[in-house]
A and B are shown apart, each in its own frame.
Chain A
Amino acid sequence: MMTVAALALPTILGLLVISVVLRNETESSFAMRLSLAYPLGMGLLTMQMFLLALMRVPLRLGYVASLIAIEIVGLFLLIREKKIGLTRMPSFGLFNEIASADVRWSRKILVIGLTAIIVVKIGSIFVETYLRPIFAWDSFANWSAGAKAFYYSHSLLLDTDPQDFFGKGILDRNANYPPHNPLMQVWMGLWIGHFNEVLVKFWSPVYLLAMSVYLYAIMARETSRLIALSMLVLFLSSPLISVHAIEAYSDLPLSVYLLFSLIMFLFAMRGEHEYWVLMGLYSAEALFTKDEAPFFVIPLVLAAITFYWQNRKQGLVPRKAVVALFASLLLAAPWFIFKLSHHLGFGADYIKLKWTVQPQIAWRVVMMLLSFRNFNVFFFIFPLLLMLTWRQSKEFIFLFVPMLCYALFFMLVYSLTEFYAGGLMFNTAVFRNIMSYYPIICLLTSLLIKTVMMSGNEALAPKNKCIQ
């Protein structure tokens, strides 16, 4: 019960923020808003826990939860005052399709079958999370080690000896890693009443659930429900994402934030200005989740600036929307100020930056991707479809370039630094880094399929506002 409360409070906070930000938006369903709300609320929660700890407020349930409760009450009053629709009617499009007399039986059976596969898979991930205690090396050595130390000290260990500062020196903990993951575990532990090795990581499958719902909704909007369900089934068949969803790793939350920030950019480009703020918020939360995030967020912001610059004469993007984007990005500022002022550095402590040139490593990564080990056939089909649908819309290019920059950044790191050149961490690092943009690959593949559908049969193509 306490675990449910720990997950519900940030979701409510996120939902209220989403309701305020998207007060004039009418297209997103309640399920979509709910799936946006959970990662947003979790990020806002841990950022505030971080600020509380910086102000030396003890990380106890009373202090943290009362702050969140005050915010929830405040937002609720604002929503009532401004007469903002708090909840939209739940959308039952999928169920309507199954119940509709106009839909063929074969299609109905397919939809029911695919939905069942998704429900059973996500359900099994939740059960598996409940079955296993923390089991992976990086959780022991780093994320949960830090969380446990913070939990028992009710602080971020800022007033200790230099060797213990911010949990440095605990096992293999890297003090320069952003504290989003450990603070989520602390939050769960505060509600449960002790550091329960099974339940403190229960936020992880909820990230997958939220991402799956939103990804499905977007893909269904862009293509069709049947294609979206099929894509989601294939997406969830990745064994790596399943394993990450049951463990206290940061790669899955990062992948959710990167995907959501990109989707927010997509809507923002389509003229829905309120999404600029959300793009900034999710980007800021990505920056607060893992050190790799800047290498996606910076190209994404540059793409946004380019879009603004190209469309400044048409007035597609109001200046206040761009200001809102940068203002919301500032949420990550306290973390970076803290990090720089205490010389915590970037990347893991044990990575010594020794330059080398090993282009064959890039080839090795490509071969690993083409072995279909972890990501179904996405990484073969995506470039194939990209080549076959050569002339892409500007919108697609704006979405594709940040992801490409991010992927190339990793390639450069692998090829130019000695640490990754075939060392112990190589296989793990390559696959988990790819996993952080795997959902984006899934989204972009669905957009390419949409292009194929549009070129194949204009009548079947979904009617979306699209920037050509």
Chain B
Amino acid sequence: MQVWSALFPMKPTTVCTETYFAIRDELLVISAIPSGRLPLLIMDLDIANLFMVEPMHGGTVNGWIQIPLSFTITLYCVIVGITVLNAVFLVIKKTPLLKALRKSAVIAFFSAGFLYLVYSERTWYTWFEQDIDTYAGYSTEAKIGIFNGPLYDFIKVARGVLKDEDYVVYSADDATRLMTQYYLLPRRNRTNAKNIIVLYDKDTAYDDRSRTFTRGTMRMVNVDLVFRYDFGAYILRTR
């Protein structure tokens, strides 16, 4: 078990998955918006760098997609500029105003649309390249391992330990608990299961010597340690 720990140093912070980070980012965005205020605040306004086009936010394909306000404003400028200029040109050429506006709006649509296309596809293909570097050539199991990091190594051992039996999982982190449950399916998370999985849960403690497991006010004796990954991640079995 010590070897495992040395090979896969899993700490509470590294258990967090990409998904977790994405959700955390979303929470940060939402929590940054005072309720009732205009959502323009979502797109961090930076007057000084209004026309400095930065890439879409979200580091990977799994990130939340946001574009900077500077680019949104650029698109509006393109739409308004092309519509007005083209309409003026057509009106001078004796086209009725409404017809000129209609044609100009269509041209503006395609112009702004293609600008957006260049911008968004640049981000898409950056993500694509990253994923090729990260996942290409690996088996499905290896890909899951890459995606989840050390957590998946723990889960693989847990599968062997649990066999077909159910378990109860305790973790302070929702994403870790969810991923563990998912990858352990069809084994189920049940309140009174014999097997106990602990993944960095701050409310739990296990004493090797007295073989006692405590969680809040709950205290269980005669609990065997079946597998320990490191100090905060282990599997127990009640008799």
- List residues of A whose CB falls within 8 A of some B CB: 117, 121, 124, 127-128, 131-133, 135-137, 140-141, 144-145, 148-149, 152-153, 164, 169-172, 196-199, 230, 233-234, 237-240, 242-243, 246, 360, 363-364, 367-368, 370-374, 376-377, 380-381, 384-385, 388-389, 422-424, 426-428, 445, 449, 452, 455-456
Q: Are B128 and A127 in contact (CB under 8 A)?
A: yes
The distance from the CB of B11 to the nearest CB of chain A, in whole angstroms, is: 22
The distance from the CB of B69 to the nearest CB of chain A, in whole angstroms, is: 8
User: Does B109 count as interface, using CB distance less than 8 angstroms?
Assistant: yes
- List residues of B whose CB falls within 8 A of some A CB: 18-19, 22-23, 26-27, 29-30, 33, 35-36, 38-40, 42-43, 56, 61-62, 64-67, 69, 71-72, 75-76, 79, 98-99, 101-103, 105-106, 108-110, 112-114, 116-117, 120-121, 123-125, 128, 131-132, 134-136, 140, 143-144, 147, 175, 178-179, 181-182, 185-186, 188
The distance from the CB of B141 to the nearest CB of chain A, in whole angstroms, is: 9
Residues of A within 8 A of B98 (CB): 388
Could you jot down 27 A-B contacts, CB within 8 Å? A121-B124, A127-B128, A128-B61, A131-B132, A131-B134, A132-B147, A133-B140, A135-B61, A135-B147, A140-B178, A141-B178, A144-B182, A152-B185, A197-B144, A230-B110, A233-B117, A234-B114, A367-B39, A367-B40, A372-B72, A376-B116, A377-B79, A381-B113, A424-B27, A426-B30, A427-B29, A452-B105
Q: Are B178 and A373 in contact (CB under 8 A)?
A: no
Taken together as a complex, chains A and B put the C-alpha atoms of A234 and B106 apart, in Å, by 13
Residues of B within 8 A of A363 (CB): 38
Q: Are A384 and B116 in contact (CB under 8 A)?
A: no
Q: Are B109 and A377 in contact (CB under 8 A)?
A: yes
Q: Given A127-B128, A198-B143, A234-B113, list of 19 further CB < 8 A pairs?
A: A124-B125, A127-B132, A131-B134, A131-B143, A133-B140, A135-B147, A137-B19, A148-B186, A230-B110, A239-B56, A239-B65, A371-B43, A371-B67, A373-B65, A373-B67, A381-B113, A388-B105, A422-B30, A445-B109
Taken together as a complex, chains A and B put the C-alpha atoms of A255 and B102 apart, in Å, by 28
Q: Are A424 and B26 in contact (CB under 8 A)?
A: yes
Residues of A within 8 A of B43 (CB): 371
If over half of B's interface residues share one DSSP class (helix, strand or loop), that class is named, otherwise mixed; here it is helix
Q: Are B106 and A452 in contact (CB under 8 A)?
A: yes
Q: Which of B75, B99, B106, B188 contacts A372 (CB 8 A)?
A: B75
The distance from the CB of A251 to the nearest CB of chain B, in whole angstroms, is: 14
The distance from the CB of A242 to the nearest CB of chain B, in whole angstroms, is: 6
